[in-house]
A = this chain, B = another copy of it.
């Protein structure tokens, strides 16, 4: 079953390249990302990555896909940390996991959500993104007792919660949410929970859309 180390010329170059790529991404952002810098960091020739990922877009696509998987894991981890929570508490936990990820890996977060470089149509990436979205949808389904895909009001709940937590995440890692930057961690989480609950408060009458 082919141990990771001591085989081939390098070992497991693909994984090593991905790790180095994330490091480069973190240091330089998507805009300054360089394939040659990744190769140099691993100590391999500048053209080696092409054999595993095709081109630079391939590397960024694989990175984004792995990002979505870890993103989902961050939400699940927050949920696993609470014991006797109701459906709303579980949804709030997902939101906090959402923010955990964005805060821990802002460059990766932006690559996933605000970049045109990864190939969106790739099966691996679109599946990983769909799973992450599905997690939020499932949270709302549990809360409302109905699938968002069959109930437009529940779908509006999904959009509301998602947009709210995503907006907070984006603005926060951009340093534009000044009031939240000065809070303690506990204060911040309480505020985020409060904001998320707002997003679940259905307006009287709702949208009126089908």
A168 touches B159 (CB 8 A): yes
Known: A180-B159, A194-B207. A115 touches B31 (CB 8 A): yes
- Asked whether any CB of chain B lies closer than 8 Å to the CB of A203, the reply is yes
Q: How far is the CB of A127 from chain B (nearest CB, A)?
A: 14
B179 touches A206 (CB 8 A): no
Query: 1/0 per residue A155-169: CB within 8 Å of B?
Result: 110011011111110
> Which of A159, A163, A164, A179 is most buried by chain B, counting CB atoms within 10 A of its CB?
A163
For residue A177, which residue of chain B has the nearest CB? B159
Q: Please indicate the chain B residues that have their CB under 8 angstroms from the CB of A195 in the complex.
A: 156, 159-160, 163, 199
Known: A31-B116, A168-B159. A208 touches B180 (CB 8 A): no
Query: 1/0 per residue A167-181: CB within 8 Å of B?
Result: 110110011110110
Q: Please indicate the chain B residues that have their CB under 8 angstroms from the CB of A190 in the complex.
A: 207-209
- Contacting B at CB under 8 A, from A70-123, are 110, 113-117, 120
- Asked whether any CB of chain B lies closer than 8 Å to the CB of A4, the reply is no
Number of interface residues of A (CB under 8 A): 50
- In the complex, which of the residues B117, B183, B207 contacts A191, with contact meaning CB atoms closer than 8 Å? B207
Q: How far is the CB of A168 from chain B (nearest CB, A)?
A: 4
Q: Please indicate the chain B residues that have their CB under 8 angstroms from the CB of A164 in the complex.
A: 160, 163-164, 167, 199
Known: A190-B209, A191-B207, A209-B183. A170 touches B114 (CB 8 A): yes
A156 touches B194 (CB 8 A): yes
- Asked whether any CB of chain B lies closer than 8 Å to the CB of A187, the reply is yes
- Asked whether any CB of chain B lies closer than 8 Å to the CB of A37, the reply is no
Q: Please indicate the chain B residues that have their CB under 8 angstroms from the CB of A171 in the complex.
A: 113, 162-163, 166
Query: 1/0 per residue A186-202: CB within 8 Å of B?
Result: 01001101110111111
Instruction: Give the docked Cα–Cα distance between A183 and B156 (Å).
Output: 13
Can you spell out 20 A-B residue pairs with CB atoms less than 8 angstroms apart?
A29-B117, A31-B117, A113-B170, A113-B176, A114-B174, A129-B176, A133-B176, A152-B179, A155-B179, A159-B191, A160-B164, A163-B167, A166-B171, A167-B167, A187-B209, A194-B206, A194-B207, A195-B199, A197-B203, A198-B202
